[in-house]
């Protein structure tokens, strides 16, 4: 269950500009999949439409990976890795992991990172899960070529160590997988990358890592039913952030008080940033981990430009706690905290910061979850999906395309000398020489 607390933001919102009729109309569009970009709204009913045959195959592949490998190299970028990374960081013990180690590649073009990973894998039994609809996205395509080469040099059964998650019917990666007989899983054609973590994109590597994916899907299913009514918590969050945006708050900072949630913020930034950042509109989405980042960003938040608000993910109860001990000498002056739990201290840090920031003119939306587990990961994922769709439609943009991404891709192709981009190469080089 997720609850949105709005009492720390109401005082910052003047006359409301978003009507109940607007929300009802958009809700109908989302549920009936008739709005802008409707061809990519397969995620709407996905939690109750999981392909059970595909899911059973994921179970079997995970067992196979666990038997054959110490490491699974997941190759992907954007939505092909961020959701998985978020779940792993949120759900695995950071210092005591057993089972298959999941390592990511293809999410950048760093020679240093690639070489370090190649060296790390030299004495490891590993498999590859490459994730790409097309198979031609530059970053993962480079990584797949490099790590596939190492795999074939190390293992006679290399063909059996490659797991491909791609389009069901089309694309270079699908063609290669069919030719080589690689084990293949589906990136749903009606679900974009940033909405794909509840498909094989996320479920296969998570299951291989030993994560209870059934529990994740249970949370997503409950969120699906909880959020079907027009009066729901996801829309409450969406309309609050939209009202703040309309009233001059142009930056949203997603804040956590648990480091396990840092990569959930990274996933969230892509979800909202790529969905809403069009037509010279959208909030700039940022994130912070408190209390850590209070010691670097706190001054700016407290007294800088009044153009931001915070959305805080508040965990009501952590699974483990730690009592602060008594010290006879008390040289650090902390005995007033002796006997208190770190959960209690963290709670007071949250409350103290909340008051300080709201007093300083920074609205705070609070999203409460009961605890950190797979169920709440699945619930939060669908909660943010629904909120994002509502928020983007309120902006009157297509939440499901990313035309701006194609611009840098074309420029990169041209500068690297890809066939068919010769004229563009000359044009870009002239611009670079001239300057802006």
Q: Is 295 a catalytic residue?
A: yes
Strand bridging mode 2-5 / 126-131: unpaired
Write down the catalytic residue from 7, 153, 280, 295: 295
Q: At a CB cut-off of 8 Å and minimum separation 6, what does 114 contact?
A: 105, 143, 146
For residue 208, give both structure tokens: 């291989």
Write down the catalytic residue from 139, 233, 252, 274: 274
Q: What is the dihedral sign for C-alpha 224, 228, 233, 239?
A: positive
271/394 Cα distance (integer angstroms): 16
Write down the catalytic residue from 170, 409, 427, 431: 409
Residue-wise DSSP of 30-94: HHHT-STTGGGBTTSSGGG---HHHHHHHHHHHHHHHHH-SEEEEE--GGGTHHHHHHHHHHS-T
Q: Is 274 a catalytic residue?
A: yes
- Determine whether 225 is exposed, middle or buried from the number of CB atoms within 10 Å of its CB (0-12, 13-18, 19+): exposed
The H-or-E segment that residue 10 falls in is: none
Cβ contact 277:391 at 8 Å: no
Cβ contact 347:355 at 8 Å: no
Q: Is 409 a catalytic residue?
A: yes
Q: Angle of helix 374-395 relative to helix 233-246, nearest 10 degrees?
A: 40
The HSE-up count of residue 97 (CA atoms within 13 Å, CB side) is 19
Q: What is the set of active-site residues?
A: 274, 295, 409
């Amino acid at each position: 269950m997720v609850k949105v607390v709005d009492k720390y933001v109401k005082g910052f919102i003047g006359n409301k500009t978003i009507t109940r009729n607007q929300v009802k109309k958009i809700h109908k569009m989302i549920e009936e999949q008739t709005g802008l970009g409707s061809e990519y709204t397969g995620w709407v009913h996905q939690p109750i439409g999981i392909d059970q045959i595909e899911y059973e195959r994921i179970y079997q592949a995970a067992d196979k990976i666990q038997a054959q490998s110490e490491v699974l190299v997941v190759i992907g970028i954007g939505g092909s890795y961020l959701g998985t990374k978020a779940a792993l960081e949120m759900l695995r013990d950071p210092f005591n992991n057993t089972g298959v180690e999941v390592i990511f590649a293809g999410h950048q073009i760093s020679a240093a990172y690639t070489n370090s990973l190649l060296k790390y894998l030299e004495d490891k039994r590993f498999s590859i899960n490459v994730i790409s609809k097309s198979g031609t996205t530059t970053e993962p395509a480079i990584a797949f070529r490099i790590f596939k080469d190492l795999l074939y040099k190390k293992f006679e059964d290399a063909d059996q160590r490659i797991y491909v998650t791609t389009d069901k019917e089309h694309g270079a990666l699908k063609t290669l997988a069919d030719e080589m007989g690689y084990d293949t899983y589906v990136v749903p054609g009606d679900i974009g990358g940033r909405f794909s973590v509840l498909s094989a994109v996320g479920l296969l590597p998570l299951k291989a890592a030993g994560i209870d994916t059934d529990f994740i899907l249970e949370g997503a299913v409950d969120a699906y039913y909880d959020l079907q009514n027009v009066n729901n918590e996801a829309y409450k969050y969406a309309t609050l952030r939209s009202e703040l945006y309309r009233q001059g708050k142009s930056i949203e900072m997603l804040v956590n008080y648990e480091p396990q949630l840092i990569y959930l913020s990274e996933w969230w930034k892509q979800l909202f940033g790529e969905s809403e950042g069009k037509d010279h509109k959208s909030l700039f989405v940022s994130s912070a981990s408190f209390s850590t980042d209070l010691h670097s960003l706190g001054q700016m938040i407290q007294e800088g430009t009044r153009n931001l608000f915070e959305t805080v993910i508040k965990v009501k109860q952590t699974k483990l706690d730690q009592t602060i001990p008594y010290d006879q000498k008390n040289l650090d002056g902390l005995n007033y905290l002796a006997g208190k739990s770190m959960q209690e201290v963290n709670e007071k840090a949250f409350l103290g910061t909340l008051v300080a920031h709201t007093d300083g003119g920074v609205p705070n939306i609070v999203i409460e979850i009961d605890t950190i587990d797979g169920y709440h990961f699945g619930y939060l994922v669908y909660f943010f999906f629904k909120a994002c769709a509502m928020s983007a439609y309120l902006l009157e943009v297509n939440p499901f395309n990313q035309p701006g991404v194609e611009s840098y891709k074309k420029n990169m192709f041209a500068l690297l000398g890809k066939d068919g981009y010769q004229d563009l190469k000359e044009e870009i080089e002239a611009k670079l020489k001239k300057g802006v």
